[in-house]
A and B are shown apart, each in its own frame.
Chain A
Amino acid sequence: MKFGVVVFPGSNCDHDAYHVLKHVLGARVEYIWHKDTALRLFDVIVLPGGFAYGDYLRAGAVARFSPVMQEIVKFSAAGGKVIGICNGFQVLVEAGLLPGALIPNDHMRFRCQEVYLKVANNATEYTREYQAGQVLKMPIAHYSGQYYAEEDVLKRLQDQERIAFQYCDARGEVDPAANPNGSKLNIAGIFNEEKNVLGMMPHPERATEAILGSTDGLGIFKSLLGKD
Chain B
Amino acid sequence: MWLAKIVVTYKRGILDPEAKTIQHALETLGYQDIAGLETGKYFEVKLKSGLKRPQAEKLVNEICDRLLSNPVIQKYTVDLEEVRQ
Interface residues of A (CB under 8 A from B): 57-58, 61-62, 65, 93-94, 99-101, 103-108, 146, 148-150, 182
Contact status A182-B15, CB under 8 Å: yes
Beyond A101-B73, A103-B73, A148-B73, whether A108 also contacts B68 by CB under 8 A is: no
Q: Is the CB of B15 within 8 A of A103?
A: yes
Question: A interface, by DSSP: helix, strand, loop or mixed?
Answer: loop
Residue in A61, A93, A103 whose Cβ sees the most chain B Cβ within 10 Å = A103
Chain B binding surface, main DSSP class: mixed
Question: Is B14 a contact of A57 with CB atoms below 8 Å?
Answer: no
Interface Cβ pair total, 8 Å cutoff: 35
For residue B29, CB closer than 8 A to chain A, the reply is no
- With an 8 Å Cβ cutoff, the count of chain B residues facing the other chain is 11
A106 to B17, CA, bound (A): 6
**Complex contacts, A57 vs chain B, CB 8 Å:** 41, 67-68
Q: Is B34 in contact with chain A by the CB < 8 A criterion?
A: no
Q: Which residues of A contact B17 (CB under 8 A)?
A: 104-108
Please determine whether B14 and A103 come into contact, CB atoms closer than 8 angstroms: yes
The reply to whether the CB of B44 lies closer than 8 angstroms to some CB of chain A is no
B27 within 8 A of A: no
Q: List 20 A-B contacts (CB under 8 A).
A: A57-B67, A58-B70, A61-B70, A62-B67, A65-B67, A101-B70, A101-B72, A101-B73, A103-B14, A103-B15, A103-B73, A104-B18, A105-B17, A106-B15, A108-B17, A108-B21, A146-B15, A148-B72, A148-B73, A182-B15
Residue numbers of B with Cβ under 8 A of A are 14-15, 17-18, 21, 41, 67-68, 70, 72-73
Top 10 nearest A-B pairs (CB, nearest first) are: A101-B72, A108-B17, A101-B73, A106-B17, A108-B21, A101-B70, A106-B15, A58-B70, A104-B17, A103-B73
Q: A99 vs B73: C-alpha distance in the bound complex, in angstroms?
A: 11
* Cβ distance A195 to chain B, nearest Cβ, rounded Å: 21
New A-B pairs, 16, CB < 8 Å, besides A101-B70, A103-B15, A148-B15: A57-B67, A58-B70, A61-B70, A62-B67, A93-B72, A101-B73, A103-B73, A104-B17, A104-B18, A106-B15, A106-B17, A108-B18, A146-B15, A148-B72, A149-B72, A150-B72
